[in-house]
Amino acid sequence: MTNNLTSLSYIKQLSRKYGFKFDKKYGQNFIINPSVCPRIADSAGIDENSGVIEIGTGIGVLTSRLAQRAKKVVALEIDTSLQPILAETLAEYDNIKVIYQDVLKTDIARLIKQEFGDMPVSVRANLPYYITSPIIMKLLEENLSIDNITVMVQKEAAARICAAAGSREAGAISLAVQYYSRPQVCFNVSPGSFYPPPKVISSVIRLDIKKEKDVHPASEKNMFRLIKAAFGQRRKTFVNSVSANLSLPKAQVESALSATGLDLMVRPEKLTLKEFAALSDILLTD
């Protein structure tokens, strides 16, 4: 099957033909390195029986590769000016449905039910970088029936999202990601692999969704409230940050740390998800 969607001259020809203008506000950096889409689409988890949700089609370079592997691809694209281009570039595929709407305003659970039925579903995308975290958090927090999320993000975002507890980059997002999934950084992609080239290196990350959670706070909501409060003032100790952000007496926060066997001077990035769960059970009981 021929696929010249990574050809810069074809992309420019399409843009001229349909009067398409790259829109920075939508994070439009399209893949032109022919080895990148196969590495995203062909990694474990997609076969002729499975469904894929793609976020942001661009001119359809990844969409078409996914359609060659999967039973069905449903793609969400915010920019309706791509519609005539996609009508041309994806014309040969009868297993792709493009829905022109904002992913952040989409009821994805309903979409999965309507479009995929009982099929195993995963998410693959070269994400618009301006909304990487909101998209990932939406996909995780809605407890969707998906197997994995394999997406391209900025390298720095990948490090934050996949940071292990105790590492310098650990933060509220890495803990949330670990609660819902097993994250890994798969490979890096250079700016020259995109048109127009972004200013930064990119990384493909893979989040394998946990079917069973391995941390069980009394209240998920309270654990995330505590995590948010702890990282609200970076470089502060857990005690100072939490007592300031949740208006709790320092002595109460210190006694929760002691009860959990933790150092009173501990910094939030050193705490594991399990420790946050235990601390929220003690500190936030409403």
- Which residues of this protein are in contact with ligand SAM, per CB under 6 A? 26-31, 55-58, 61-62, 76-79, 102-104, 126, 128, 131
Return the number of the residue (79 or 269) whose C-beta is nearest ligand SAM: 79
Check whether the bond before 196 is cis (ω within 30° of 0).
yes
Residue 168: exposure state from Cβ atoms within 10 A (0-12, 13-18, ≥19): exposed
Amino acid (one-letter) located at 143: N
Question: Min. distance of Cβ 103 from ligand SAM in angstroms?
Answer: 4
Question: Min. distance of Cβ 129 from ligand SAM in angstroms?
Answer: 7
Question: Min. distance of Cβ 235 from ligand SAM in angstroms?
Answer: 32
User: Measured between alpha carbons, how far is residue 281 from residues 2, 221, 225, 245, 274 in Å?
Assistant: 57, 11, 12, 17, 11
Return the number of the residue (17 or 210) whose C-beta is nearest ligand SAM: 17
Return the number of the residue (30 or 276) whose C-beta is nearest ligand SAM: 30
Cα–Cα dist 261/157, whole Å:
32
Rg, the chain, Cα only = 21
Return the number of the residue (80 or 285) whose C-beta is nearest ligand SAM: 80
Is-contact 109 139, C-beta < 8 A?
no
Question: Min. distance of Cβ 162 from ligand SAM in angstroms?
Answer: 19
Structure token digits, residue 56: 């942001």
Return the number of the residue (56 or 183) whose C-beta is nearest ligand SAM: 56
Amino acid (one-letter) located at 112: I
Question: Min. distance of Cβ 179 from ligand SAM in angstroms?
Answer: 24
Classify 71 in phi/psi space as left (phi over 0), alpha (psi -120 to 50) or beta. alpha
